[in-house]
């Protein structure tokens, strides 16, 4: 009887892990171009943080958190997303006091949600996300969206759609909220149980309901765009014109909402339109959260960010048939023949490796032919063959696996020789 991996989790094995490394590397590279610095926070936090920041009316908090009590009777939760921890760390470490502002951070790490697993939906998944705190300049909203788009595009995705909306500021949202309640209240009985609860706690989220999305009242629901005050309208216009000037295409969807109280102004999602992508097509989501730092005990700080899961990114790459340029080969495989040569192999190999060569050898006492086969499997660029005779003469033969050319090289020069060839 063996053990099985928990539902909704995955082992990422060699052969696949290189893809993960490649996309992580790309994300880091783009972040450094945009001057975002990495932050690493704990995998678990006090449960209260998520209740406060994600919000206790959300699906995440109500249904999806991995919460446990530790031996000291504290309620802890495996992080379901990265913004709460990042903003907590920003406040706790007083990053707002640093000279360089805004504070631009990114993270890559596992998140945990108790969900029904399916393609693109896991219980443990890796999110890459960024948070820019301390500026409410609309150009940083555009920057955040551009960064997300760049990651997808530079990896080779083409069927992308940036969907944009504004939620307005506090005042606009309040007016919109009242209109929503007035709109749905008379017939709220026709809506699902969740929506009935949302009517008073968070009516905006009714627009986001998957069960009731075809109800006729959904189509006629008041749009935030009719309730934007002057300032909010202007903010949105500047975000849009900045994107346009940057050459970034977008579509407006007045129904795109992010249901948390502290969300305001910009909200966006990036969708994959690739055929064969499956039911879940949202690659990433983000938005502005100007009230969040205050909510977790910090000074009033504007902020904006996004998060994407690498799982969905990799699915999209598959769906579009993108082959990542992953190089997985050794520089040199060392083959030996005879006892003395075999004895010499570890120190010679060690020399290769210290010189920076990717190198390996046989450890299973294989025959010559099988060693060559093993060398082939590693895609080695060069194979160095050392026999007892060669060893006695202080030479080694080096075969260029691409051209087939074989050269005899002085043993004490072989590292330099191979380095020069590659």
Residues binding ligand ATP (CB under 6 A): 81, 113, 115, 120-122, 125, 127, 280, 282-285, 307-309, 311-312
CA 57, CA 42: separation in Å to the nearest integer?
Answer: 24
Nearest to 123 by CA among 13, 8, 261: 8
Nearest to 245 by CA among 104, 158, 145, 103: 145
For residue 285, what are the contacts with CB-CB under 8 A and spacing of at least 6? 258, 268, 269, 270, 306, 307
Nearest to 266 by CA among 144, 101, 178: 144
> Dihedral of CA 69/75/79/81: which sign?
positive
Instruction: For the CB of residue 66, give the shortest distance to ligand ATP in the complex, in Å.
Output: 12
Instruction: For the CB of residue 275, give the shortest distance to ligand ATP in the complex, in Å.
Output: 19
Measured from the CB atom, is 288 or 399 closer to ligand ATP? 288
State the virtual CA torsion across 41, 44, 49, 53 in degrees, nearest 10: 70
Instruction: For the CB of residue 211, give the shortest distance to ligand ATP in the complex, in Å.
Output: 13
Measured from the CB atom, is 258 or 381 closer to ligand ATP? 258
**DSSP-assigned letter for residue 208:** G
CA 150, CA 135: separation in Å to the nearest integer?
Answer: 22
Residue whose structure tokens are 């998520």:
50
Instruction: For the CB of residue 38, give the shortest distance to ligand ATP in the complex, in Å.
Output: 18
Buried/exposed 85-119: b ≥16 CB within 10 Å, e otherwise = bbbbbbbeeebbeeeeebbbbbbbbebbbbbeeee
Measured from the CB atom, is 268 or 352 closer to ligand ATP? 268
Measured from the CB atom, is 310 or 398 closer to ligand ATP? 310
Measured from the CB atom, is 111 or 357 closer to ligand ATP? 111
Instruction: For the CB of residue 380, give the shortest distance to ligand ATP in the complex, in Å.
Output: 37
Instruction: For the CB of residue 60, give the shortest distance to ligand ATP in the complex, in Å.
Output: 7
**DSSP-assigned letter for residue 318:** H
Measured from the CB atom, is 280 or 326 closer to ligand ATP? 280
Instruction: For the CB of residue 14, give the shortest distance to ligand ATP in the complex, in Å.
Output: 22
> By the 8 A CB rule, do 248 and 148 touch?
no
> Cβ-count burial of 337 within 10 angstroms (0-12 exposed, 13-18 middle, 19+ buried)?
middle
> By the 8 A CB rule, do 230 and 209 touch?
no
Which residue is at the shortest CB distance from ligand ATP? 309
Instruction: For the CB of residue 153, give the shortest distance to ligand ATP in the complex, in Å.
Output: 16
Measured from the CB atom, is 57 or 282 closer to ligand ATP? 282
Residue whose structure tokens are 């490394």:
21
Instruction: For the CB of residue 53, give the shortest distance to ligand ATP in the complex, in Å.
Output: 12
Measured from the CB atom, is 129 or 222 closer to ligand ATP? 129
Residue whose structure tokens are 């046989």:
362
Measured from the CB atom, is 115 or 137 closer to ligand ATP? 115
Measured from the CB atom, is 307 or 335 closer to ligand ATP? 307
> Dihedral of CA 129/135/136/138: which sign?
negative
CA 321, CA 374: separation in Å to the nearest integer?
Answer: 30
> By the 8 A CB rule, do 187 and 199 touch?
no
Instruction: For the CB of residue 59, give the shortest distance to ligand ATP in the complex, in Å.
Output: 7
């Amino acid at each position: 009887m063996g053990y099985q991996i928990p539902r909704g989790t995955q082992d990422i094995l060699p052969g696949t892990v290189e893809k993960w490394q490649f996309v992580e590397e790309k994300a880091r590279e783009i972040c450094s171009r945009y001057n975002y610095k990495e932050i690493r926070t704990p995998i678990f936090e006090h449960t209260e943080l998520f209740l406060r920041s994600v919000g206790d009316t959300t699906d995440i908090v109500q249904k999806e958190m991995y919460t446990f009590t530790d031996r000291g009777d504290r309620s802890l939760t495996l992080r379901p997303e990265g913004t709460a921890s990042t903003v907590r760390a920003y406040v706790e470490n007083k990053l707002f006091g640093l000279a360089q502002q805004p504070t631009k951070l990114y993270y890559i790490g596992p998140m945990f949600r108790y969900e029904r697993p399916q393609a693109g939906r896991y219980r443990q998944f890796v999110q890459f996300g960024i948070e820019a705190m301390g500026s409410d300049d609309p150009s940083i909203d555009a920057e955040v969206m551009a960064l997300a788009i760049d990651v997808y595009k530079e990896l080779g995705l083409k069927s992308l759609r940036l969907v944009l909306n504004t939620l307005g500021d506090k005042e606009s949202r309040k007016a919109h909220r009242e209109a929503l309640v007035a709109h749905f209240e008379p017939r709220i009985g026709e809506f699902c149980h969740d929506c009935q609860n949302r009517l008073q706690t968070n009516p905006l989220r009714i627009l986001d309901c998957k069960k009731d999305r075809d109800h006729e009242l959904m189509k006629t629901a008041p749009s935030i765009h009719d309730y934007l005050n002057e300032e909010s309208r202007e903010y949105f216009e500047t975000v849009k014109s900045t994107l346009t000037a940057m050459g970034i295409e977008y579509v407006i969807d007045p129904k795109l909402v992010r249901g948390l109280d502290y969300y305001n102004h910009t909200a966006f999602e990036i969708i994959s339109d690739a055929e064969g992508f499956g039911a879940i097509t949202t690659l990433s989501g983000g938005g502005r959260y100007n009230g969040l730092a205050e909510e977790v005990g910090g000074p009033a700080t504007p902020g904006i960010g996004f998060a994407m899961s690498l799982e969905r990114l990799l699915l999209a790459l598959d769906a579009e048939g993108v082959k990542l340029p992953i190089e997985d080969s050794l520089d040199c495989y060392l083959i030996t023949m005879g006892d003395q040569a075999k004895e010499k192999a570890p120190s010679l190999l060690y020399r290769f490796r210290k010189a920076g060569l990717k190198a390996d050898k046989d450890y299973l006492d294989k025959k010559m032919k099988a060693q060559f086969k093993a060398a082939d499997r590693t895609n080695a660029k060069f194979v160095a063959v050392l026999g007892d005779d060669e060893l006695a003469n202080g030479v080694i033969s080096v075969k260029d696996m691409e051209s087939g050319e074989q050269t005899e090289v002085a043993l004490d020069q072989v590292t330099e020789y191979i380095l020069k060839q590659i």
